[in-house]
Amino acid sequence: MEKWAKLQALQTATANRHILDLFDEARAAEFSVSADGMLFDYSKTNIDSATRAALVELAEASGVAEKRAAMFAGDRINLTEGRAVLHVALRAGEDASIIVNGKYVLPEVSRIRSACYDFATAVRDGSFVGQGGKITDVVNIGIGGSDLGPAMATLALSPYHDGPRVHFVSNVDGAHIHDTLKGLNPETTLIIVASKTFTTIETMTNADTAKRWMAAKVANPATQFAAVSTASEKTLAYGIDPTRVFGFEDWVGGRYSVWGPIGLSLMIAIGPAAFDQFLAGARAMDQHFLTAPFTQNMPVMLALVGLWHNQLCGHATRAVLPYDQRLARLPAYLQQLEMESNGKRVALDGSDLATHSGPVVWGEPGTNGQHAFYQLIHQGTRVIPCEFLVARRGHEADLAHQHLLLVANCLAQAEALLRGRSLDEARAIQAQKGLMGDALELQARHRVFPGNRPSTVLAYDRLTPFVLGQILALYEHRVFVEGAILGLNSYDQWGVELGKELAVALQPVLEGTAGTKGKDGSTAALVAFLRV
């Protein structure tokens, strides 16, 4: 707590200064970190050398290095579920060696990856066929971590697609599966049921619907089903041939699972070679995370900047703003990654958390967001730290002029947040337009930008599979570091359970086979309104 108190004092002492005043010739270089061609610039924040030193001391005192070693070694750091946390094993190099429960886990990881690659290749080259011949469409049915990772990454890597079309269904709302299956040919469609537990109600309901849809045209629909799950007995009971079931261990959390079989739909879309590059990017970030000193360590510094803004400055949300249209689903993916991991109110030992939990994460790609919610980011009364992401180059060589415009907009937004526009500057602009007196003053006041609003930029060359792997591993480790410093368990998710239980109990109430006794008045009245 002494470290927190020191930081709080630094925050109070520096709260009113202008970030712009911190800039000298060295600041941009000194307050940025690079890793394998990627640059993280946090110089446009109110962090100075003293604050950074105190943040790093906090990380050291919180045992981040020791906890990191424990995670990579396969210790059961997910205490409430008694599990190791080893998504890093899914992308570990040939020379690594990780033991869980006295067993080397990498040979099995690599065996399952090969099985997934073989199946993906067979679907892509037509050696696996549906009743109507070569597979034209793949539908991944999953939710949360069994959907967001592959859905986000498949969109992100669309320039690398050379396999069949891939679709994603997650919502239990029948509209989702209806609209997805509409127009697909059941005879040339492969359904992948992706569910770690194979019990999730949304996924199993959608899988049943897909099975019925397929049964209308395909003699034995189960032959066009594959599954990704840790529950092999359940997939067998569902009728899916074990040769098309790809398992993984309980030490891979749902929101950390895109690197393994849960990435099957992505493997089918981009092929094993590109998927290998995706893993290589993540592995490079793992190595960087393991070896770089804290001040030069991108995940550590990204986490510390986040803690500074949320826990110390009191900014409760952070906006993730990719200037990269294909990262449109990244904010949603990060919402699960960060909010399901660090949205906890108690520490590992069950005591109340001494600080706030992780922040609200939200965002949309630029430039779209600029024409929607940036108004509040620039002139609203709350400060929202912004995290921009931008590539040096796009994939569309013939549209380089559009990419330049995109980059200019990204940098301009960060600059505007930093610099702002003072009342005097606004007055001068209105005076130039010929306004005077009260009219000038009124118009000028509406045009003031307070500025001094923090932002960071994550810059990379191009959104390749390698770079996407780096970005996702960076955010995974950021979540780890934030959780380690807050002292909570980033790897369970008990907060999703209560709603699930109540939904099950409400089904008979809505069907009319059970009454509303014991329900609060609002729920009972809504049931009465919504019951068909």
Binding footprint of ligand F6P on the chain (CB under 6 A): 143-146, 195-197, 200, 203, 254-255, 340, 493, 496
CB of 264 to ligand F6P, least distance (A): 13
Nearer to ligand F6P, 197 or 287 (CB): 197
CB of 142 to ligand F6P, least distance (A): 6
Nearer to ligand F6P, 145 or 322 (CB): 145
Start-to-end Cα distance in the chain: 55
Token duo for residue 254: 């749902």
- Nearest 10 degrees: Cα torsion 198, 201, 202, 207: 50
- Whole-number Å distance between alpha carbons of 209 and 121: 27
Q: How far is CA 404 from CA 7, 399, 401, 455, in A?
A: 39, 9, 5, 20
CB of 149 to ligand F6P, least distance (A): 9
Q: Is 340 a catalytic residue?
A: yes
CB of 194 to ligand F6P, least distance (A): 7
The HSE-up count of residue 414 (CA atoms within 13 Å, CB side) is 25
The one catalytic residue among 18, 103, 178, 500: 500
CB of 301 to ligand F6P, least distance (A): 27
CB 264 within 8 A of CB 194: yes
- Whole-number Å distance between alpha carbons of 283 and 92: 6
Nearer to ligand F6P, 206 or 455 (CB): 206
Nearer to ligand F6P, 38 or 207 (CB): 207
Q: Is 217 a catalytic residue?
A: no
CB of 322 to ligand F6P, least distance (A): 22
CB of 254 to ligand F6P, least distance (A): 3
Nearer to ligand F6P, 452 or 493 (CB): 493
The one catalytic residue among 182, 371, 401, 517: 371
Strand, helix or coil for residue 229: strand
DSSP label at 461? S
Which residue do the tokens 């992100």 mark?
156
Q: Which of 65, 148, 99, 110 is nearest to 251 (CA)?
A: 99
Which residues are registered as beta bridge partners of 391? Answer: 460
Residue partners of 519: CB distance under 8 A and separation at least 6:
509, 527
Nearer to ligand F6P, 32 or 200 (CB): 200
Helix (H) or strand (E) holding 423: helix 423-432
CB of 202 to ligand F6P, least distance (A): 8
Which residue do the tokens 């990772």 mark?
149
- Nearest 10 degrees: Cα torsion 8, 13, 19, 24: -110
CB of 141 to ligand F6P, least distance (A): 10
Write the DSSP assignment of 235-288 as a string of letters.
Answer: HHHTT--GGGEEE--TTS-GGG-TTTGGGHHHHHHHHHHHHHHHHHHHHHHHHH
Long-range pairs of 100-109 with CB within 8 A, sequence gap ≥ 24? 100/74, 100/249, 100/251, 105/74, 105/249, 105/251, 108/249, 109/260
Nearer to ligand F6P, 145 or 366 (CB): 145
The alpha carbons of the chain give a radius of gyration, in whole angstroms, of 25
- Whole-number Å distance between alpha carbons of 255 and 257: 6
Q: Is 500 a catalytic residue?
A: yes
CB-CB neighbours of 201 under 10 Å = 13
DSSP label at 346? B
Positions annotated as catalytic residues are 340, 371, 500
